[in-house]
């Protein structure tokens, strides 16, 4: 869902500076609740979906989201994803690494990327905001899941 309407939403807001990446947040959430295979498959196929609708090199976002998954999965050994601090830090690191790798790969593929402090700042701020909203998104999905399961049990 986020992939499909993110572009329209950002254009409507008139903001291309802030890139809040809910896919990274979802990868973190699925890592906790569906385990590594679920999160890995989600990262892979969402990356392919972004590649389909984007105008860049096919496979680019697939690779980036796989890197995000590996970053969060490796980091989950040091930070607990079921606390508040854990998702914030891991999602921030994952999103930041995604931005840096994207910029680096675009430069390798001969896109004109103007390296500057504002670019670095933009990537950091976007990653920070993504990390900050991660615990809220986790809580929201937990609440939805609990409400849904509660309804199913009642109907059963």
Tell me how far, at minimum, the Cβ of 14 lies from other proteins, in Å.
6
Nearer to other proteins, 38 or 150 (CB): 38
| Binding footprint of other proteins on the chain (CB under 8 A) | 1-12, 14, 16, 19, 36-37, 40, 44, 47, 49-63, 66, 69-70, 102, 106, 109, 111-112
Q: How far is the CB of 53 from other proteins (least distance, A)?
A: 5
Q: How far is the CB of 154 from other proteins (least distance, A)?
A: 30
CB closer to other proteins, 12 vs 156 = 12
DSSP-assigned letters across all residues of the chain: -HHHHHHHHHHHHT--S----HHHHHHHHHHHHTHHHHHHHHHHHHHHHHHHHSSS-TTHHHHHHHHHHHHHHHHTTTS-TTSSHHHHHHHHHHHHHHHHHHHHHHHHTT------HHHHHHHHHHHHHHHHHHHHHHHHHHHHHHHHHHHHHHH-
Nearer CB in complex with other proteins: 111/115: 111
Q: CB of residue 155 vs other proteins: minimum separation in angstroms?
A: 28
Q: Give whichever of 5 and 143 is closer to other proteins, judged by the CB atom.
A: 5
């Amino acid at each position: 869902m986020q992939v499909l309407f993110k572009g329209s939403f950002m254009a409507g807001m008139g903001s291309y500076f802030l890139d809040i990446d809910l896919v990274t947040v979802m990868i973190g959430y699925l890592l906790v609740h569906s385990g590594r295979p679920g999160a890995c498959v989600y990262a892979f196929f969402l990356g392919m979906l972004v590649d389909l609708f984007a105008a860049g090199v096919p496979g680019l976002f697939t690779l980036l989201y796989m890197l995000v998954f590996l970053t969060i999965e490796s980091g989950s050994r040091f930070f607990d994803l079921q606390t508040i601090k854990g998702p914030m830090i891991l999602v921030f690191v994952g999103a930041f690494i995604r931005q840096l790798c994207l910029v680096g790969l675009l430069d390798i593929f001969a896109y004109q990327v103007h390296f500057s402090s504002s670019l670095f700042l933009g990537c950091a701020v976007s990653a920070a905001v993504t990390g900050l909203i991660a615990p809220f998104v986790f809580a929201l999905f937990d609440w939805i899941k609990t409400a849904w399961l509660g309804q199913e049990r009642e109907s059963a």
